[in-house]
Structure 1
Amino acid sequence: MFATLFFGCFDPGAKVLPEQTLLSDLPSAEENRSQAIPAENDAVYQKAEGVLVDILFLGGKPFQEVNDLLSSQLGPLQEHLELNNNEHFRRYEQGDVSVKDGAVFRIRFFYPESLRRNEALAQIGFPQQVGNYIITHKEYQLTNQFGFRRLRMKRESRDTELVTEIEAWKWIPQEQLRK
């Protein structure tokens, strides 16, 4: 047994292993840090085909960065109100937006026609298939999905799955105050 430990194992499986380790092919941490990291601003935003308003992209972004996108996707600005606590409300032709501390935290969009809830999600940039909905006679709700605190889809009527508008909250300011 001492000879086996001293001279090594003669297991045939050991001979087929490559001499180089798997990590030798990967760049080191120093090499990764030295490579240039592309800035987010270098990438040009492109709205996906079939998306009316890209709420998934716009939610939580700094208002100054997405102001033009909001106008192009929600229509012309109809009304602007400055509220308390550094909060703004902006009403557009096809929806409205709430901004707090310079970031978009709530977007509401009125669909041009009633849609099934999965199609409604797809038209605002979200995946069509999601987990469990909270279903009430007035709306469908999703909570804590895709980085959003709440998604509320207003139902056309209690007897149908069709929705007419959606309200997406990236975060809820009142909850932030409690923390």
Structure 2
Amino acid sequence: METSNIKVNEAEKVDNTKITAQMLSEQERLSAQIVDTRKEITELTEAELKELEKETKQFEKGSFEHLRYLRMNFKHIGEEIPKDVPITKYYRYIIENFRIMKPKEEWTDIDYKVDNSQWQRLMVASGLRQRLEVQEIPLIDRQKRIIERVRNGTDYDVHSSKKFLERLQ
């Protein structure tokens, strides 16, 4: 009786492993199909900038809707963090080196997009610092990819540090 139970449990484990492997390969396939078709916001022509200003007049500058419109329609690649800066110091480096020097009253849509991208980057850098200070195991590939995206300034959608930390696990 016990032998048959053990065989059933082993068979269930094998099936669960196969299902988990299939789900992971399906997720990888789906994530590989996602293509970012947004334009780089810093490379817009004068006509495109005027069109953008016309489109965003319906939103209050800096409002959630305004920033969401910019995030959904335009990408921004920020400056890179030098490779000699440790991961846990990314937050401090961004604070000290990436700023918009104009007064907020003079900001354009591009400045709002740059500021929002830097804010998102700071949120991720903060999550990284807190997570990696307590993590004892070596980094996994997903963590390395997220760290590289923060380092090279790639714009991505991180609304909450909770989602980010879930992705790190």
State the TM-score, normalized to the length of structure 2.
0.24
Question: Which structure: greater strand fraction?
Answer: 1
Structure showing greater Rg: 1
State the TM-score, normalized to the length of structure 1.
0.23
